[in-house]
A and B are shown apart, each in its own frame.
Chain A
Amino acid sequence: AQSVAQPEDQVNVAEGNPLTVKCTYSVSGNPYLFWYVQYPNRGLQFLLKYITGDNLVKGSYGFEAEFNKSQTSFHLKKPSALVSDSALYFCAVRAAPKLIFGQGTTLQVKP
């Protein structure tokens, strides 16, 4: 069965430091992977996706994600965190015709 896991409920970083939000997946076949962000009282917004090609995917708001096939991971990264990055982050994998979401990771960036 296809699944996605986000091992951390919360990640805390200081503003200006690099951040990583972890995601691992289990799929049959080639993985199609996504990151979405949810700000308070808002719907989810698309950040980036991996379909094929370069293992480093660049997305919105300075975020990027690294696809690692051998470790079945798709970690979200940003070189320098902002307080405004504080939000709930979801990793998702395609299990056509639907998406399967992880449980979410709350990112807290402190000034």
Chain B
Amino acid sequence: EAQVTQNPRYLITVTGKKLTVTCSQNMNHEYMSWYRQDPGLGLRQIYYSMNVEVTDKGDVPEGYKVSRKEKRNFPLILESPSPNQTSLYFCASSLGGVTDTQYFGPGTRLTVL
């Protein structure tokens, strides 16, 4: 089944404790991105990747890192999480870019205490 998977789905952590949220797609998509969803703000893009080893900042990249060593995986790294990073995170992928249909993962709800 074509899908985008994210792990973990739920995470409660403490300030400063490094964490990684994994994202994997099985559709051979070139474009992948991370969004955070906050009430009243919609989705805001954190980082995106046009292809392997090609990543760039979105609108809210501060406090996040990403890597794209393989086409299928696009992990989101929070080196030192803070409470203002408490949010719902979505990974998405598409064949060639944003004009193509975006396929979203199920989301990761992160709470930073």
Chain A residues packing against B (C-beta within 8 Å):
32, 36, 41-46, 49, 51, 90, 94, 96-99, 101-104
Partner of A96, one of B43, B92, B97, B106: B97
Chain B residues packing against A (C-beta within 8 Å):
4, 31, 33, 35, 40-45, 48, 50, 56, 58-59, 90, 92, 97-99, 101-107
In the bound complex, residues from chain B placing their C-beta under 8 Å from that of A99 are 45, 98, 102
Q: Is the CB of B102 within 8 A of A98?
A: no
Q: Is the CB of B90 within 8 A of A97?
A: no
Partner of A98, one of B4, B58, B90, B105: B58
Q: Is the CB of A42 within 8 A of B42?
A: no
Q: Is the CB of A42 within 8 A of B106?
A: yes
Query: Would you give 27 A-B contacts (Cβ < 8 Å), ordered by A?
Result: A32-B98, A36-B102, A41-B107, A42-B106, A42-B107, A43-B90, A43-B104, A43-B106, A44-B92, A44-B102, A44-B104, A46-B103, A51-B99, A90-B42, A97-B31, A97-B50, A97-B97, A98-B33, A98-B48, A98-B58, A98-B59, A98-B98, A99-B45, A99-B98, A101-B43, A103-B42, A104-B42
If A46-B101, A98-B48 touch, whether A103 touches B33 (CB-CB below 8 Å) is no
Q: Is the CB of B107 within 8 A of A43?
A: yes
Q: Which residue of B lies closest to A96 (CB)?
A: B98
In the bound complex, residues from chain B placing their C-beta under 8 Å from that of A46 are 101-103
In the bound complex, how far is the Cα of B104 from the Cα of A90, in angstroms? 13
In the bound complex, residues from chain B placing their C-beta under 8 Å from that of A104 are 42
In the bound complex, how far is the Cα of B44 from the Cα of A90, in angstroms? 12
